[in-house]
A and B are shown apart, each in its own frame.
Chain A
Amino acid sequence: MNSVVCISQVPDTESRIRIAADGRRIDEAGLKFIVSPYDEVALEEAIRQKEKSAGDVTVISFGPERVQQALRECLARGATKAIHVKGESSDADSLGIAKVLAAAIKTTPHDLVFFGKQGVGSDNSLVGPMVAELLGYPQVNVVTHLEVGDGRLTAHREIEAAEETIEAPLPAVITAQKGLNEPRYASLKGIMAAKKIAIDTKSVTDLGLSDGDVFNQRVTIASLELPAEKTGGRKFDGADPAAAAQEIIKYIRDEAKAL
């Protein structure tokens, strides 16, 4: 059982977002970057599969130099190989990124391809299913439970207030939801072992793609803006519960018009 996990590196969820001078990107200065939280779940699941039935866990990230840090972190947690496709991924749209990842995935043996259900930050939830389509694989999106055996998988897919059980042959694409597992931290031993693994570095051209394939955007960002700062509304002293309840009811009826 070989797995691939696609890793996006994103600003720490604690970050305050600032807009860069061009008005179309975020200002990366001073931002701390982390492995996207759902990708951590995806990685953990791949490592568990490997622990059950041997094989490799290859992590792949497409992005600038800084994503090597994210790949190192994944190796320290238990990934066995890493591929860094160099390039300014923020200049590509989701389909451009998916084309790069699909090409990189083809260079390494795999039965399962894992993604996060969403890159925290871009909040697109697009790349996983796009790669599934480009590779012609079945997909199970937003997975909360996974079993693999006999060249097949059974997965639970979270939908609105319900859960589906889906079966599919391998190779297949899975996008991980929280709750699928509890990701582990890197151990000291893991961190040391990871240092010995060389990250395989490729360019987009090495993968047989042209810049046009990847960077001709079908979706372009015209501008990026911060929401109007909320100043906070009215405050009410709730020492008297009955009065507080009255105040809330009035608001719900007259302003939210929800009663």
Chain B
Amino acid sequence: MPGVLVFCEVQDGKLKKTSREALTIGNKLAQAAGGDLVAFATDSSVAAEAGRYGAKKLYVAKLDSYSTEIFTAAMQQVVNDVKPSVVLLGGTSNGRDLAPRLAARLDVGVASDVDRLEWTDGKVRARRPVYSGKAFATVDIVGTPAIATTRPNAFPAVEVGGAAAEVVEVNVTAESKAKLIDTKVPEAGELSIAEADIIVSGGRGLKEGQNFSYIRDLAHAIGGAVGASRATVDAGWIDHQHQVGQTGRVVSPNLYIAAGVSGAIQHLAGMSSSKHIIAINKDPEAPIFRVADLGIVGDLFTILPALTEEVKKAKAH
């Protein structure tokens, strides 16, 4: 029966959070569409976990590292076999690299970075932020399969408690012109803002680059990722990977703490869909306060250290 196919990524022997989120919403769509949820991964060890998220089958292609061309061929093979109505990919770097390539190969529609998905009138309706969240587009993906990438943190990941997915092996013979030579992790141990639940961001109010330690200390204490305004990236205080905003990453964590960030329209565009926002700024008129749920008017240099201590205390309990 046609259903939903979810492209899953595995990290340290477990499904990535974005994959679990995609499986959860995929399972809802499959039920609405009247089909099965099946998954694709490169590692059969996640069959039990995928089953707990509702997947009946796990198609496994034993491939090492990600490669656009080989993974496109693998997913094409599975699509031809399963004939799903919907294909979902978590909106990670790889998911977003693969989805358009697969859509072009299959000559079907794809919507990226969706934060709502439903099955209505025999088709998929999705909502996606456009203009960096200044507007939302509701789109219909017509044709089969409909492809979408899910925005990290937009869908909850909830186990439904099924049996282990039945593993089906996929043999891929495709070759790739592009070759992965090396992978470097530049800042070991640092969380990426892309998928983080909590982000602590610093702006020009930090005065100088070394003061990012105020942001890092709080981020480490609370278990969050370090974000930054463009002004600080342009000043060379921190790497562009950390930039939040229209020309950085658009993020929607559960908690976003901004300190010394004025809240320029391009910054707000990248973070205003966060679920909870706290802003610390000494200027009571700073535009960041317009989107903050809790706005603290004060000096970040005294408030952040006090807050970091309180967080450490709370965590110690």
Contact = CB atoms under 8 A, between A and B. Distances in A.
Contact of B125 (A37, A98, A222, A258): A222
Interface in A199-221: 217-221
B295 A232 contact: yes
A interface secondary structure, majority: mixed
A131 B272 CA distance: 32
Contact of A241 (B181, B222, B257, B302): B302
B69 A138 contact: yes
Interface stretch (A42-50, A165-173, A188-196): A165-173
A224 B128 CA distance: 10
A222 to B, nearest CB: 5
B303 interface: yes
Given A166-B180, A227-B133, A133 B105 contact: yes
A125 B130 CA distance: 12
B139 A163 contact: no
B108 interface: yes
B314 interface: yes
A109 interface: no
Contacts of B112: 123-126
Interface string B107-149: 1111111000000000001001111111111111111000000
Contacts of A218: 108-110, 141-143
Interface stretch (A52-60, A65-73, A76-84, A248-256): A248-256
B interface secondary structure, majority: mixed
Chain A contact patch, size range: 35 or more
Interface residues of B, number: 100
Interface in B171-197: 176-187, 190-192, 194-195, 197
Nearest to B300: A238
A217 B96 contact: no
Contacts of B243: 178
Interface string A234-259: 11111101101111110111011111
B208 interface: no
Contacts of A169: 177
Given A132-B101, A232-B291, A251-B293, A244 B306 contact: yes
A14 B108 CA distance: 34
B184 A163 contact: yes
B161 interface: no
24 contacts: A13-B247, A13-B265, A19-B135, A26-B135, A93-B109, A94-B110, A130-B103, A130-B104, A138-B69, A140-B178, A158-B241, A162-B185, A162-B186, A167-B178, A178-B243, A219-B110, A221-B139, A222-B125, A225-B135, A233-B292, A236-B294, A248-B310, A251-B276, A252-B255
| 6 A-B pairs with the lowest CB-CB distances in the bound complex, closest first | A238-B298, A218-B109, A161-B192, A133-B104, A138-B178, A233-B293
Given A95-B104, A123-B131, 20 more contacts: A17-B134, A26-B131, A95-B109, A132-B101, A138-B68, A139-B68, A140-B178, A158-B241, A159-B92, A165-B181, A172-B178, A218-B109, A222-B125, A224-B136, A238-B298, A241-B306, A249-B311, A251-B293, A251-B294, A257-B254
